[in-house]
Structures are given as C-alpha cells and as structure tokens.
Chain A
Amino acid sequence: MLELRDLSLNYGSIPAVRGLTVRVGPGEVVALIGANGAGKTSTLKAVLGLENAKGSVVLDGVALDKLPTPARVLAGISLSPEGRHVFPQMSVEENLLLGLTARTRPQAGSLTQEMYALFPRLYERASQKAGSLSGGEQQMLAIARALMSSPKLLMLDEPTLGLAPIIVSQLRVIIGTLKARGTSVLLAEQNAEMALACTDRAYVLENGKVAKEGLSRELSQDPAVRAAYLGLGEGDEE
C-alpha cells in the first residue's frame, strides 16, 4: 500500500526527518507517535508532496516522488492537517466540497450526506462559516473534508486535539469503519495512549528517526514506551 523508503526532509540545514522507512498495508491503521518536533508532521507533509523530501514515497507500487501534491491527492492520499486549516470564510458545506477538488464529483451530494451522518454536528452547521465553528467542530470538518475524496490512504495529524472524549471514541469507530472498507490510515498523534489503542501497528519517532516499531498492542506494554510516552512508570498500573 504505502511505503516510505529512506525518507529524509531538511528545512534549510535543519534535519526534520532522517532516513525514515515506514510501511502501511492495505486496510492497516498505523500510528506515528513521538515527542514534539520528532518529525511526525514533516513525514506526513513529505508523503503528500507539501515539502520536498529525499528518498521515496511509494503508493501501491507506484513511486510518487516526481508528482506534485494535486496528483498525489488524485492518486488517493488525503490529509487532515495539524492545526485544522479549514477555509474560514466558506461554509461547512463548501469546505466539504473542496475536499473533492482533485476528483470528479457526480457523487458530491451523497458524499456530503455521508459526512453529515458521521458528524451530525456538521450537518447542524452546514451553512455556517467554518471560521466561526468551535475548535473541535473545525477539527471534525478537517477530518470530514479529508474523507470526501474517498482516499486509499487517510493521514490524520493530531486529529484528537481539542475533541471531546465522546467525539474521540466516535473517531475511533470511524477509523474502524474505514479499515473494514480497506482504507489505510496513518495517524500522527501526540496522544500516544489513544493512538496505540486504536491502531494495528505503530512507529515511535525520535529526532526524525524510527526509534521503535511494532504492534500497537505490544508497544503499549513496552516499559520504555510506557515510561516515555504514556506517562506511566514501569510498575504503574493503568
């Protein structure tokens, strides 16, 4: 499905990602966890072509390295970016339609209905300006917008930031549904506990490198990971 081979990204002389190798299988839900500045966001940006990276991004066996972002979106990758980045002066509905930009859209109507079914809150706010939504509502909108293109690979960057616990558990249900449909999900999360609980596998990033990888279930039991990312000492019980 998605393979990142020896991916590196520098901002000027500052390295943000250093030789990352990551795999996401079809229908697999994979987490990238790590401290602030570990390189999670930079990795996702490189996958979408928002930053120029070295190394290779391969989707379904096709190298995307020469393709600009619009072509990568067309190829089936979409991103719910860190910090939401909704279009503030446009209505919720228009924001959703913009999620379809790179695709043909005879089914636009039914797709927006699908999103409203997933996020009833957005339905209530359909004609409201996105900029006037609450932070959590904007987050839902960013996720829904990314889903509009029916991506093969959905990348979520800090999607739970600002979301109420009930919406977070709803998001987990949505991720489960996507997985069942065969959509792959790459989840970058500060909240390691949540990320490990709802993913199949995870990569722990430190300073732009993979420090650890494995099944999420196992990583969440790993003493070092627990100490560093789950705020739990070795002897602690949850």
Chain B
Amino acid sequence: MELLLQQIANGLSLGMAYALVALGLTLVFGVLHVVNFAHGEFYMLGALVTVLVVKSLGLPYIVALLIAIVLVSAVAWVMDIVAVSPVARKPGGDQIVLVSTYAAGLIIVETVLAAIGPTPIAVSGFSGIVHFGSVVLTMHRVFMFAAGIVMICGLYMLFTRTNFGRSLRAVAQSDYAAKVVGIDVERIKTLTFVLAGGIAGLAGGLIAPIITFNATMGLHAGIHAFVVVVIGSMGSIPGAVVCGLSLGMIESVLSIFLGQHVAATLIYSLLLVTLFVRPQGLFQGALR
C-alpha cells in the first residue's frame, strides 16, 4: 500500500511533465491544425539548456530554468519560420508539416548528439525531501508539480482573460471567421507555436534533475505526448492535462508490478484501443 501511494505520488510529477508536453502539442494542433513531430525535441532542449547552464555556467537551477524557457521558445520560433508556417500555408500543407517537422526534429537531435554526445548528464534541482504521511517526495518533485500547476493556471488565465487568448481561441475555432474580424491569424499561429515550445522547454528543464538528460529523451516524450493528446482528444486542453497526469500515475504504478518496459507497452496499447473504440478521444470538442 505504501509503495502504491509512493508510486502514485512519483507518477504525479512524471505525469505533470507529460501533461505540459502534451499541452503544447494539443495547443499547436488546435490552433495551427498541424501535428508537430518535433515537439518532443523542445522538451529535450529544455533539459539540455538547463543542464548546460547549471554545469557550465554555474548558475542556479531556477535561473537555468528561465533561460531554458526563453531559448527553447526562440528555437520554436525559428522552427515555425523554417519548417511550419511556409509549409502549412500551401494546399495540403498540414500533411507535409508532419514530414517537415520530423526532419527538423532529426536535425535537432543529430546536432545535439554531434555537439555533446550520447552520454547522459545529471543535474540536481532542489534538494531536500518532504513527508506527506508515509509518502516521501523529493523537494524537486514537489516543486515540479507546483510549477506545472502554476503554468496551467497561468495558461487558463491567458486563454480566458486576455485579448491574445481570445484571439487564439478564435483562430482555433475558425480561421476564416478570425480573418474576417481582423485577427492577424498568421501571427497568432506563430505565437502559439512559440508558446508551445516554451512550455515544453519548461517541462524539460523541470524533469532534467529527475530523469537525467540524454539526447534521445525527446523522442520518448514526444510519443508519450502524442498518446496523451489522442486519448485526451486532439485540441483539448483539459484532456491533455487530465490524461497526462493519469498516464504518469498509471505508468508509475504499473511499473511496480510489470517493470518499466511492459508498462510503456501497455500504454501504447491503450492508444490503439482508444483509436479503435473512441477515435475522438475522451474529451471530445476542440480547443475552447
């Protein structure tokens, strides 16, 4: 029982990382109507920047995290300019974006491998432990969960209370109507892509002290995010958050009994079952 509670608690922080990565993916799908196959690489880059800033520059972890958000947002912006908006604008471009972002993702991974190699790099986040009854969590996991909650609440405010958020939802619901009322649709799409990159960068920076950085971590995260987004309904933000957290917990709990690889396999099977039984996902309805 204690082990179970412990794994649920651990799963929540892992799930928060999934939720944040999935959130960006679903946001991009909801607003740009494309699937970004390189999205997981933003997460990897977030972890990389955090690790490098702490190790090489000796700056505090929290500063590294902020730098990661900024730099990864910048990378996302460049990717949008190079591999997304010019491609998506063409007829049938939403399909071609799959390939162009896949290529961009490979370029990122290979570049990182060439520059720093495949060796995992560890970094420490916040030290200390916290007791919740019999459950013991590292301070860092608690911080990670809290940071995720703050991010999600911030996004909620952004979407519901600001002009940018309202315009973003307008574009998600109808490109054409958004153009008619004078929204700069291309700009909103670019900003959405950058925002999604920044959120993934934060997630990567948050997870780095927990799973140690390696250059291929983005691939794994990207696939997980994809599972979360499909199960949680493409384009649904609540779906991404709830399914991300659940998936983290399920994976964490299952790994007690089945080992990590079997747990992951089960989760991918869940994807297939969802596609078969309820292809629109559990949280139908587009981004609101």
Contacts and interface: CB of A to CB of B under 8 A. Distances in A.
Interface of A: 48, 50, 68-70, 72-74, 78-79, 81, 85-90, 94, 97-99, 101-102, 145, 149
Given A87-B173, A101-B167, A81 B180 contact: yes
A74 to B, nearest CB: 7
A74 B182 contact: yes
B173 A70 contact: no
A78 B177 CA distance: 12
Interface size class of B (residues with CB under 8 A): 10 to 19
Interface of B: 163, 166-167, 169-170, 173-174, 176-184, 285-286, 288
Chain B residues touching A, majority SS: helix
A101 B288 contact: no
Nearest to B172: A89
Contact of B174 (A48, A85, A149): A85
A101 B177 contact: no
Given A97-B166, A98-B170, A85 B182 contact: no
Contacts of A97: 166
Contacts of A98: 166-167, 170, 178, 181, 183
A69 to B, nearest CB: 5
A161 to B, nearest CB: 16
Nearest to A97: B166
Contact of A85 (B167, B176, B288): B176
Given A87-B170, A89-B286, A90-B169, A73 B177 contact: no
30 contacts: A50-B180, A68-B184, A69-B182, A70-B182, A73-B181, A74-B182, A78-B182, A79-B180, A81-B177, A85-B174, A85-B176, A85-B177, A87-B170, A87-B173, A87-B174, A88-B173, A88-B174, A89-B285, A89-B286, A89-B288, A90-B166, A90-B170, A90-B288, A94-B166, A97-B166, A98-B167, A98-B181, A98-B183, A99-B181, A101-B182
Interface centre among A72, A87, A90 (most CB of B within 10 A): A87
